[in-house]
């Protein structure tokens, strides 16, 4: 394992870190197995944005005897309401949810208290001028959190955070696909011909500025969505028309200025080992330039990355899961039995959608979720 400093904090973290999003609805044994594999491979950095109680409890139990060896990112503003994840700024919900995090992790001090998922300027301003930041400051003053971080997909917000001396760490979505584009609100502008070149300068200038600024001023960057929710790993779903390997994606993320570490979301030890091949890979195995050089003009707008930020659904549908099963099945001649069975076993299905549209407002990728629900009904039969 190789380690890098987290910006000005001086804390050393493993270049590859563990993102726990796939531990939802899994038995404790799976968490323990993955945590042990991480520890055996020198991974010392963990992010948990999930509010699902068991995920937090399982992780707390699994790291308990080795707590001092882990650096933890925990999210403030990620709550669990009516059995669903809800991002909120309502302090009556935020405070108990964060206390629940600390309790379930069995810790008194958290390394990084992350202001969770801020993608709109208005939201950022409200956080920074209101009770939310006051609470975060109080946690820091009392030593409950040691450092303040913020997570976002939006480079506009990233730049605001990087210029804010209170924010020491930025968790940001970085992969070769997203990097071609600026803030999602301005996506049309980045479809201009002159944005695309023959080399890696297809890195969007706004993002380049963000990475440069973080490198310069010592705001640490940790990477999420390094595989774009898995879509970069398959020929069918990659916007480049050809898949990248986990090694290429990891290399890309770690090659950006200011980046300290990439969180890989893995479902099992085999997937973790796949990512760890990065350290034994030769230069040609890491090289992503050819894929990028052939990139068509293509954006991620409208494509689901299964991030789950559209929750909670009014009808309690697991939207990300329906989208994922739909994507897995839609290009096949016939819906595979295993996928149909998984779909049949969901508590709520696409036919439960009442087209309220609430989820679409929360989707950072502007997925037309109501349309997907209609298409999924057609494909799966209900």
d(CA 74, CA 95): 13
- Can you state the angle between helices 28-40 and 53-63, rounded to 10 degrees? 40
**Sequential DSSP letters for 316-380:** ---HHHHHHHHHHHHTSSS--HHHHHHHHTSSS-GGG-----HHHHH-TT---HHHHHHHHHHHH
- Measured between alpha carbons, how far is residue 221 from residues 275, 301, 321 in Å? 19, 23, 28
Distances (CA, A) of 334 to 76, 169, 338, 382: 43, 46, 11, 16
DSSP H helical ranges for the chain: 28-40, 53-63, 91-105, 121-129, 131-141, 155-162, 205-217, 246-255, 269-276, 283-286, 289-293, 319-330, 337-344, 358-362, 369-380
Q: Report the distance separating Cα 294 and Cα 307, nearest Å.
A: 27
Q: Could you give the 3-state DSSP secondary structure of residue 147?
A: strand
Q: How far is the CB of 76 from ligand SF4 (least distance, A)?
A: 20
Which residue number, 130 or 382, has a Cβ lying nearer to ligand SF4? 382
- For the CB of residue 129, give the shortest distance to ligand SF4 in the complex, in Å: 26
List interacting residues with ligand SF4 (CB under 6 A): 304-310, 313-315, 317, 319-320, 323, 353-359, 363, 365, 367, 369-370, 373
> Which residue number, 271 or 316, has a Cβ lying nearer to ligand SF4?
316
Run of H or E residues at 148: strand 145-152
- Quick one: 46 or 369, whose CB is closer to ligand SF4? 369
d(CA 165, CA 161): 8
Q: How far is the CB of 362 from ligand SF4 (least distance, A)?
A: 6
* Shorter beta-carbon distance to ligand SF4: residue 61 or 366: 366
Nearest distance, CB of residue 38 and ligand SF4, angstroms: 25
Q: Tell me whether residue 313 or residue 328 sits nearer to ligand SF4 (CB atom).
A: 313
Nearer to ligand SF4, 91 or 370 (CB): 370
Residue 52 CB, nearest distance to ligand SF4 (Å)?
15
Closest separation in Å from C-beta 306 to ligand SF4: 5
Query: How many helices and strands, by DSSP H and E, does the chain display?
Result: 15, 12
Residues 204/190, Cβ–Cβ less than 8 Å: yes
Measured from the CB atom, the residue of 101 and 326 that comes closer to ligand SF4 is: 326
Closer residue to ligand SF4 in complex, CB, 95/321: 321
Minimal distance, residue 107 CB to ligand SF4, in Å: 29
Minimum distance, C-beta of residue 140 to ligand SF4, in the bound complex (Å): 30
């Amino acid at each position: 394992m190789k380690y890098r400093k987290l910006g000005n904090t001086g804390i050393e973290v493993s270049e590859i870190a563990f993102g726990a999003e796939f531990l939802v609805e899994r038995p404790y044994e799976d968490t323990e197995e993955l945590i042990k594999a991480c520890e055996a491979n020198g991974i010392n950095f963990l992010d948990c944005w999930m509010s699902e109680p068991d995920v937090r409890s399982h992780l707390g139990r699994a790291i308990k005897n080795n707590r001092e060896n882990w650096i933890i990112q925990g999210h403030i503003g990620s709550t669990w309401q009516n059995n669903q994840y809800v991002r909120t700024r309502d302090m009556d919900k935020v405070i108990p949810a964060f206390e629940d995090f600390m309790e379930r992790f069995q810790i008194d001090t958290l390394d990084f208290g992350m202001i969770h998922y801020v993608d709109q300027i208005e939201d950022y301003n409200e956080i920074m001028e209101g009770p939310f930041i006051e609470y975060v400051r109080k946690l820091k003053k009392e030593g409950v959190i040691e450092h303040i971080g913020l997570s976002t997909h939006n480079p506009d917000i990233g730049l605001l955070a990087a210029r804010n001396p209170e924010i020491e760490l930025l968790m940001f979505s970085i992969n070769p696909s997203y990097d071609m584009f600026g803030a999602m609100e301005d996506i049309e502008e980045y479809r201009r011909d002159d944005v695309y070149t023959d080399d890696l300068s297809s890195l969007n200038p706004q993002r380049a500025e963000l990475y440069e600024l973080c490198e310069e001023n010592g705001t640490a960057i940790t990477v999420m969505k390094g595989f774009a929710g898995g879509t970069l790993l398959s020929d069918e779903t990659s916007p480049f028309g050809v898949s990248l390997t986990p090694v290429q994606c990891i290399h890309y993320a770690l090659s950006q200025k200011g980046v300290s570490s990439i969180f890989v979301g893995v479902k099992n030890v085999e997937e973790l080992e796949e990512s760890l091949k990065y350290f034994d890979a030769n230069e040609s195995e890491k090289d992503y330039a050819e894929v990028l050089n052939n990139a068509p003009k293509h954006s991620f707008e409208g494509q689901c990355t299964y991030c789950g930020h559209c929750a909670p659904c009014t009808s309690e549908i697991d939207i990300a899961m329906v989208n994922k099963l739909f994507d897995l099945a839609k290009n096949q001649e016939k819906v595979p039995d295993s996928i149909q069975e998984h779909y049949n076993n969901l508590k709520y299905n696409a036919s439960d959608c009442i087209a309220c549209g609430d989820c679409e407002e929360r989707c950072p990728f502007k997925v037309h979720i109501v349309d997907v629900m209609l298409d999924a009904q057609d494909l799966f039969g209900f």
